[in-house]
Structure 1
Amino acid sequence: MAHRSRLAGFIIDCQTGDLDSAAAFWSAALGLAVADPDSGGTGQYAQFGDAPGGLHVEVQKVDHASRVHLDIEADDVDAEAARLEALGAKKIGFVKRWWVMEAPTGQRFCVVAMRHDNRREPPNQWP
């Protein structure tokens, strides 16, 4: 089944009990304003606004070691995960509505549902 995907953005995973302080640091470091200090209403995410190229950038409170990961968005999350598996990635787990995956080189990333944003480049079309 044909589907589309593209880079969605970057998530800054922070092993911290203080999401506000983490968001304030990254806001100042990146020169991006915190647009939504409680994105999703769970106290786990702070989303920045006006990121370059319309990319989604946010800070996420996590239990694992701090790191940065990217998200790939797709109009068919399962088809994109399968395409990436065929390239050598492996599924780590399905969380809420997205796949956590690992590249053959060990980096973790997520495959999330596509957000339709006209400021963004058109997605790639896959067979």
Structure 2
Amino acid sequence: MAHRSRLAGFIIDCNTDDHAAAVDFWSQALGLPKTEHHVEGGAEYTNLADTPGDLQIEVQKVTHPSRVHLDIETDDQDAEVARLEALGAKRVEWIKRWWVMEAPTGQRFCVVKMRNPEKGAKPNEW
């Protein structure tokens, strides 16, 4: 059965005790206003608004080293993970509702459930 996926956006992982200061920096650096702030299971996130192409850009408080990672969103996580594994990616860990994956070149990224398929760029069909 076919499934769809596309780039969802970029997550700015910040290893910091001052999440608000990190959000202020990235909001001002990128010229994007802050919007939703939420805490979920010990994780803290703040979304930025008015992003190019309706991409999700989010500042996330983390305990691992600071980095930027991308999210791929899909309407079938199992099928998308299998497709990416066939390309050489590896599963790292299931967290809450998404897979953390690692590309053959070492970059980490997440495979998340598609939120708004009718918004943003047209998803790829596989």
The normalised TM-score by structure 1 is 0.94
Identity %: 63
1:30 counterpart residue number: 30
**AA paired with 1:52?**
P
Q: Displacement, 1:119?
A: 3.7
Q: Displacement, 1:78?
A: 1.1
**AA paired with 2:93?**
G
Q: Deviations over 1:70-118 (max 9, x none)?
A: 0000000111011000000000011001000000000000000001154
1:107 counterpart residue number: 107
How far apart are the structure 1 equivalents of 2:110 and 2:73?
Answer: 8
1:4 counterpart residue number: 4
CA contact (8 A) 1:39 1:47 kept: no
**AA paired with 2:63?**
D
Matched length: 126
CA contact (8 A) 1:13 1:59 kept: yes
**1:21 maps onto 2:16 in alignment:** no
**1:78 maps onto 2:81 in alignment:** no
How far apart are the structure 1 equivalents of 2:41 and 2:31?
Answer: 24
What 5-or-longer segments of structure 2 have no aligned partner? none
How far apart are the structure 1 equivalents of 2:36 and 2:42?
Answer: 12
1:91 counterpart residue number: 91
Which of 35-44 and 73-82 deviates more? 35-44
1:48-59 counterparts in 2 under 5 A? 48-59=48-59
1:122 counterpart residue number: 122
**AA paired with 1:105?**
T
